[in-house]
Amino acid sequence: MAEKLRIGIIGSGGIAQGCHMKGYASIPDECEIVATCDVNEATAKAAAEKFNVPTTYTDYKEMIAKEKLDAVSVATPNKFHKDPTVYALLNGVHVLCEKPLGMNADECREMCAAARESGKILQVGLQSRFMGHSTWLKDYIAAGNVGDVYFARAQALRRAGVPGWGVFINKELQGGGPLIDIGVHILDLTLFLMGYPKPVAAFGKTWDTLGKDPTRWNAWGDYDRDKFTVEDFAVGMIKFDNGAVISLESSFMQNAPDVWETQLYGTKAGLQLKPGAENGLKIYSDVNKQLLDISPSNIPNVESAHTAEVQAFVRAIVAGDPSPVPGENGLILNAIFDAIYKSSVTGNEEKVDLTY
């Protein structure tokens, strides 16, 4: 049997312990976590103890130098994605980096360039495309059953779901609010199903009124409204070089029900997908002048999309395959967000720049 991949963890908090480390632990014959790293030593030690990891660090450069790693997960706050990712790649280490890939497209350009220069895998942590509905639908659409998808509506909306813990409300450390935090998932899934067409321009608007309002109730507990520096709601219209358009909506707080879904409109059929929901997929078509509403009944079950994404990362390394979620996809997402944020300030449609 081939030697196990040696895995290091950079940023050992909740997302690392709850998702990345569980994923690696699910395939012990293929990889082993040999070290955890966190600027908070207690966090690194807690993660190591939970998963029986022998060594901890507070400096990722020291960990990479000493541990002869094959791969790392970068699960730090967004502001600290770029530097360890670039350093690891240029030192011959594959990287699974949490979403969003960077704070903005410029950071993503550096990360993608480092991956290109090193020849190592850079994978973005976008687990929604590993769900059973997602993988099945991808093949269904690719087989031509939906025709040309010309419009999609992607929604990641919370009524009163501001995450007051961590750095989610801090623009300097997070880069943005719901658009960059949860909108990234529903937009990636939508683009994945559409074959990732090339965006050319976006128009959008953001608001922060409700998020700053101290009279508002929040389902996830109270938070300091004076420290709320991100948007609470964002919308965007994104145009693509093939003529398609996506309407994107994302919120932490709104006066409307929670919504988590994408709708695709094609020339042969349309569909409504609610990721993770039971019976969350419906397909709408017109056959022989009869309207058909189809609900697939035996979609493959994926117990944990987070685990599936980590397993895909490890197996791509071993097989020498391309990244399951290329860094370039992360660049596209961040470039779209940059254009929407800029458009909200200028009031104009803004170009989506994908060069690197």
Tokens of 1: 């049997």
pLDDT value, residue 278: 84
Looking at residues 253-273, what average pLDDT do you find?
Answer: 97
Extents of the domains making up the chain:
5-127+306-323, 132-301
- Given the structure tokens 């009124």, which residue do they identify? 209
Class of domain 5-127+306-323: alpha beta
Q: What's the pLDDT band for 176 if we cut at 50, 70, 90?
A: very high
Q: What's the pLDDT band for 276 if we cut at 50, 70, 90?
A: confident
Any idea which fold 132-301 has? Answer: Dihydrodipicolinate Reductase; domain 2 (3.30.360)
**Cα dihedral sign for 208, 214, 219, 221?**
positive
Residue 254 φ/ψ region, left for φ over 0, alpha for ψ in the -120 to 50 degree band, beta for the rest = beta
Are the beta carbons of 231 and 178 closer than 8 angstroms? yes
Are the beta carbons of 310 and 302 closer than 8 angstroms? no
pLDDT value, residue 156: 98
Q: Which residues make beta-bridge pairs with 251?
A: 157, 233
Looking at residues 322-347, what average pLDDT do you find?
Answer: 98
pLDDT value, residue 1: 42
In angstroms, what is the C-alpha Rg of the chain?
20
The burial class, CB within 10 Å (0-12 / 13-18 / 19+), for 146 is buried
Tokens of 42: 């207690």
Coil vs helix vs strand at 147: coil
pLDDT digits (tens, 9 = 90+) for 60-87: 999 999 999 999 999 999 999 999 999 9
**Selection from 283, 306, 273, 295 nearest residue 98 by Cα:** 306
In one-letter notation, the amino acid at residue 264 is L
pLDDT value, residue 294: 96
Are the beta carbons of 333 and 187 closer than 8 angstroms? yes
Cα 292 off chain centre by: 33
E strand or H helix at 100, and its extent? none
- Phi/psi of residue 191, each to 5°? -65, -40
In one-letter notation, the amino acid at residue 66 is K
Q: What's the pLDDT band for 2 if we cut at 50, 70, 90?
A: low
Q: Look up the pTM and report it.
A: 0.96
pLDDT value, residue 27: 98
pLDDT value, residue 130: 97
Cα–Cα distance measured from residue 229 to residue 184, given in angstroms and rounded to the nearest whole number: 19
- Total H helices, total E strands in the chain: 13, 15
Residue by residue, DSSP assigns 198-259 as PEEEEEEEEE-HHHH-TTS--TT----GGG--S-SEEEEEEEETTS-EEEEEEESB-SS--E
Q: What is the overall mean pLDDT for the chain?
A: 97
**Selection from 179, 155, 133 nearest residue 337 by Cα:** 179
111 pLDDT above the threshold of 90:
yes
Cα–Cα distance measured from residue 221 to residue 241, given in angstroms and rounded to the nearest whole number: 43
